[in-house]
């Protein structure tokens, strides 16, 4: 990969991907409309040779100076709080945005990597989830703006591969965590850490018996790069198969932070999946990839980043 485009390049996962690619000697053009990203995520990259940041909305006319070897399409709201706030924008990112990014890949005869999500499985009736599973999604519920946007993006990506011979790969990303998550984005890890550091109760939705599988961001980025460097069409699950209850994750956050906060149960979220755990057999077999960073290493790194951030300036969304 000599030159790549990363849509959503200033976001949480996108900024880590840009950094890893630059470290490998790849020229990177990052595009972001900053609807959910912060400039602080890529501020340390702005002076690096080979990095260019474009203020672009991928759902509109998308001018990106090519040619590119790979187009990574990560542009989308990804947390419930954000896609509830930006429902139409989220649907457009999955539809119009994916089409614009695919057009650029086709123009340059580039490899296209779609960052899809485990949310395409909905509240799964199969466990762990394999790529062959079609999912159990409420198409009109409040979460559907994200779930169905990604399902449509996968359908469009697959059609472009079949009908136009675009070299595409689909990654289904499971719960990813790490430094640069926004404290206010509403996702579990930043919410729990922020509450613990502030001495506030950790709010666990429902009983807390619902499960999640947490993958450290460095591992997720490694999976995306492995998919880009292959000819695997996917979909391929990228996640950690080690399953934990949400209540257990809250307890782990309390242990790492040393907080005396208590756990408080609140109303369960609508259409919240009861179990979420990937089968990563395909990633192991076809990409030679599996996660390497255990929670015992990734969580302290993440807590340390949040603790440092609390003592410094807090960049705002769209800053």
Residues labelled as active-site residues: 146
CA distance 15 to 21: 10
For residue 260 the two structure tokens come to 């005396």
Q: How many CB atoms lie within 10 A of CB 34?
A: 17
Instruction: List, in sequence order, the alpha helices (H) in 109-261.
Output: 144-164, 188-198, 217-228, 246-257
Q: Is 315 helix (H, G, I), strand (E, B) or coil?
A: coil
CA distance 253 to 8: 28
Q: How many CB atoms lie within 10 A of CB 314?
A: 12
Residue keyed to tokens 């699950």: 237
Q: Are 238 and 283 in contact (CB under 8 A)?
A: yes
Q: Report residue 211: phi and psi, to 5°.
A: -110, 155
Which residues fall within 8 angstroms of residue 194, CB to CB, at 6 or more apart? 183, 184, 200, 306
Q: Are 175 and 239 in contact (CB under 8 A)?
A: yes
CA distance 241 to 236: 13
Task: Identify the H or E element spanning 7.
Answer: strand 3-7
CA distance 266 to 287: 40
CA distance 111 to 127: 31
For residue 27 the two structure tokens come to 């020229």
């Amino acid at each position: 990969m000599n030159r790549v485009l990363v849509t959503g390049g200033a976001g949480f996962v996108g900024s880590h991907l840009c950094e890893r690619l630059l470290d490998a000697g790849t020229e990177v053009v990052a595009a972001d409309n900053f609807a959910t990203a912060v400039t602080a995520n890529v501020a340390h990259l702005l002076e690096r040779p080979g990095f260019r940041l474009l203020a672009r909305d991928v759902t509109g006319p998308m001018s990106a100076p090519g040619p590119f070897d790979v187009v990574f399409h990560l542009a989308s709201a990804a947390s419930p709080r954000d896609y509830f706030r930006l429902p139409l924008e989220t649907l457009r990112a999955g539809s119009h945005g994916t089409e614009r990014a695919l057009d650029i890949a086709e123009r340059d005869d580039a490899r296209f990597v779609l960052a899809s999500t485990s949310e395409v499985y909905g509240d799964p009736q199969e466990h762990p989830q394999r790529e062959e599973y079609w999912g159990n999604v409420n198409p009109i519920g409040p979460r559907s703006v994200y779930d169905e946007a990604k399902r449509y993006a996968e359908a469009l990506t697959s059609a472009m591969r079949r009908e136009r011979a675009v070299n595409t790969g689909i990654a289904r990303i499971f719960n990813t965590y790490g430094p640069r998550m926004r404290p206010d984005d509403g996702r579990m890890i930043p919410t729990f850490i922020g509450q613990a550091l502030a001495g506030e109760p950790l709010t666990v939705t429902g009983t807390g018996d619902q499960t999640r599988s947490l993958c450290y961001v460095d591992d997720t980025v490694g999976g995306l790069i492995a998919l880009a460097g292959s000819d695997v069409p996917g979909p391929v699950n990228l996640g950690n198969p080690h399953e934990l209850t949400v209540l257990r994750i809250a307890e782990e956050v309390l242990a790492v932070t040393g907080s005396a906060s208590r756990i408080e149960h609140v109303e369960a979220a609508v259409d919240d999946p009861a179990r979420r755990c990937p089968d990563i057999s395909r990633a192991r077999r076809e990409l030679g990839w599996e996660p390497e960073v255990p929670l015992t290493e990734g969580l302290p790194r993440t807590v340390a980043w949040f603790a440092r951030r609390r003592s410094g300036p807090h960049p705002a969304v769209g800053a």
